[in-house]
Amino acid sequence: MPGLPNATEAFVTLVTNPEYGLGAAVLGYKLRAVGTTRATVVMVTETVPETTRAMLAKTWDKVLDVTQLDSKDSDRLAMLKRPELGITFSKLNVWKLNQYKKVVFVDADTMPLSNIDDLFQYEELSACRDAGWPDCFNTGLFVLAPSPDTYKAIMKRACEEGSFDGGDQGLLNAHFSTWSHGDISKHIPFSYNVNPNASYTYLPAYKHFADQVKMVHFLGAVKPWHYQYANGKVQGQNLTEHTRKFLEEWHKVAEMVKQSYYQPTSAAPYVPPMSTGSTKPAAPSSHVVPDDVSSVLSHITAQIKNKEKAKSSMY
Ligand code: UDP
Ligand code: GLC
Ligand code: MN
């Protein structure tokens, strides 16, 4: 159900390229499938091609242009082993969306499994613990109140201090530095931002609480779109049962999203989460030029080989 046009609360994500565009298309689809009543807004930067924007417009209420911001801090990003994440400074544009009173920002590599609208009860800045350093919050999901003043203050800090991880998470943890020892009502349960590659650090808990997972965050260099998927199955060794289930759900939705993109004249049929649906992409229809999706898919396929090694160590 699309959010009301005059909504004062919104889910927002960020996309700077076609790969994350596919991630966001899945996320937008799932937000609607789990029945959000809030507006959904995807921020795109100038580097996002028109065809990706068209795909996003099918599962998000608004596709909004924002300025691309990059920390360009290659030294700290090298430490994180993620040179591509300087661009995550573009997330900060979310504080400029003051047409909304409250926003839940979610990364484009996340996927809700059930309705998460209760997150709008939280105040700025609420977030979940980061599995790698639990005194920091993870910025794959956070609740904020847009404000141009806060935006300016965060940008000032970025200019003066930079970010300790080169991305938005280091900067935002420095800015909202009382989070870990301050008001505990700003601590969102981990079940709203579960990253499957943290599972090996505490597998019994992952198994015990698996049914309570509200949102999955495919954090790390290896993303769902790097996996091969055929006949409803994800190819990959060393995957826990639940990680495999989450990846297969992501791919099932990705297939539906791609299918609806190839048929832009009809509305995407929203199916409830975890239900079965066609996993085969439809043949491209003659009135659409699927150049972008095709190039994304071939690019992703080319990447799969290089990621094989990383995959086995990440999951
Ligand atoms: N992002 C993007 N383009 C990029 C890298 C990141 O649009 O090249 C956005 C996207 O919304 C993504 C978020 O920034 O989910 C954070 O990056 P990522 O999820 O890769 O970081 P991780 O959660 O793996 O640390
Ligand atoms: C983290 C977060 C991601 C953030 C990145 C860079 O691992 O999951 O959302 O963009 O660090 O700071
Ligand atoms: Mn992420």
Which of 57-61, 78-82, 186-190, 252-256 comes out lowest in average pLDDT? 78-82
Sheet holding 62-65, edge to edge: 62-65, 39-44, 9-15, 102-106, 137-144, 126-129
- What is the pLDDT averaged over residues 283-297? 41
Quote the pLDDT of residue 274.
40
Query: What residue ranges do the domains of the chain occupy?
Result: 9-190, 196-314
Asked if residue 22 has a cis previous peptide bond (ω within 30° of 0), the answer is no
Q: What residues contact residue 156 under an 8 Å CB cut-off, 6+ apart? A: none
Nearest Cα residue to 24 out of 48, 6, 4: 48
- What is the pLDDT averaged over residues 254-263? 81
Q: What confidence category does residue 299 fall into, taking pLDDT thresholds of 50, 70 and 90?
A: low
Q: What confidence category does residue 240 fall into, taking pLDDT thresholds of 50, 70 and 90?
A: confident
- CA-proximal residue: ligand 1, atom 7 (nearest): 15
Strands (E), 145-217: 215-217
Best of 70, 169, 175 for a ligand 2 pocket test (most atoms within 8 Å of beta carbon): 169
- What is the pLDDT averaged over residues 115-128? 98
Dist. CA 154–CA 168, nearest whole Å: 10
Best of 31, 80, 109, 303 for a ligand 1 pocket test (most atoms within 8 Å of beta carbon): 109
Cβ neighbours around 71 below 10 Å, total: 21
Q: Measured from the CB, is residue 128 less than 6 Å from ligand 1?
A: no
For the chain, what is the mean pLDDT? 84
Q: Specify the amino acid at residue 261.
A: Y
Q: What residues contact residue 78 under an 8 Å CB cut-off, 6+ apart? A: none
Dist. CA 204–CA 31, nearest whole Å: 29
Query: For the domain 9-190, what is the CATH superfamily, name and number?
Result: Spore Coat Polysaccharide Biosynthesis Protein SpsA; Chain A (3.90.550.10)
Quote the pLDDT of residue 293.
52
- What is the pLDDT averaged over residues 61-72? 92
Q: Measured from the CB, is residue 109 less than 6 Å from ligand 1?
A: yes
Residue 266 pLDDT greater than 70, yes or no: no
